[in-house]
Amino acid sequence: MRFLATGLSPLLDHDLQLGVNRLVGADEAGRGCLAGPLVAAAVCLNLGSMSREALEALSGLNDSKRLSPRRRAALVGAVMMYAEQVVIISATSRTIDANGLHRTNISAMARAVRGIAPAPDLALVDGFDLGRDAPPHRRLIKGDATSAAIAAASVIAKETRDRLMRGPAASRYPQYGFDGHVGYITIAHKDAVRAHGPSPLHRLSFRTDAYDDEPSLLE
């Protein structure tokens, strides 16, 4: 099959020019947070059978951090409608504390890629080599701004995590302001931790002066 550039999006054209049918992109959200889970996603796009309508719907994909919340939300619907498969893996703060952030991140993304069945023709991972025990994959630096498949995973991971933090997490622990910063470090977030102590959602292995008053939590 000949894969032609669409002219709709440089990210889609990048993926089409790889010349594969079933392409997976993997990315994560929440790696740098003080509280909440790390969420990894893998999205499989069947480029060999994708309609023009689908390509147009996905043409706005980009690094999730470059998109407005409204645009991300719209793209989640497009990805869920037109992707062949979507796999989401969530790792809790306690898992991160027990296993370490980097190991948890690599494991979650590898599990997400492994969840795509049957195995894709090619898997692209944003920024990380997942190791020899992971499914076959290719590391792509700044992949969420280069590949539509990785950008799709970026959008899914971030929206999944943000909705969790702004919804159930914020309702359960309103004193921390999760509905605003979704677990990232801000002055208000650190002040809340100093005032109330860490919640069960906080990563106690994260070195921050917010925990200065309770050093035993880091042991």
User: pLDDT digit of tens for each residue in the chain (219 aa)?
Assistant: 446 667 889 999 999 999 999 999 999 999 999 999 999 999 999 999 999 999 999 999 998 888 998 999 999 999 999 999 999 999 999 999 999 999 999 999 999 999 999 999 999 999 999 998 899 999 999 999 999 999 999 999 999 999 999 999 999 999 999 999 999 999 999 999 999 999 999 999 987 777 765 543 433
Predicted confidence at residue 5, as pLDDT, reads: 67
Contacts of the segment 132-139: beta carbons below 8 A, 24+ positions apart: 134/106, 134/109, 134/110, 135/110, 137/24, 137/26, 137/113
What whole-number distance in Å separates Cα of residue 165 and Cα of residue 162? 5
What is the three-class DSSP state of 43?
A: strand
> Where do the structural domains in the chain lie, given as residue ranges?
10-214
What whole-number distance in Å separates Cα of residue 149 and Cα of residue 178? 29
What whole-number distance in Å separates Cα of residue 216 and Cα of residue 219? 5
DSSP, res 195:
H
DSSP secondary structure string for all residues of 74-110:
HHHHHHHHH-SEEEEEEE-HHHHHHH-HHHHHHHHHH
In the CATH scheme, what is the code of domain 10-214?
A: 3.30.420.10
Structure token digits, residue 52: 């023009």
Tell me the pTM. 0.92
Q: Where are the beta strands (DSSP E) in 79-198?
A: 85-91, 122-126, 138-140
Predicted confidence at residue 4, as pLDDT, reads: 62
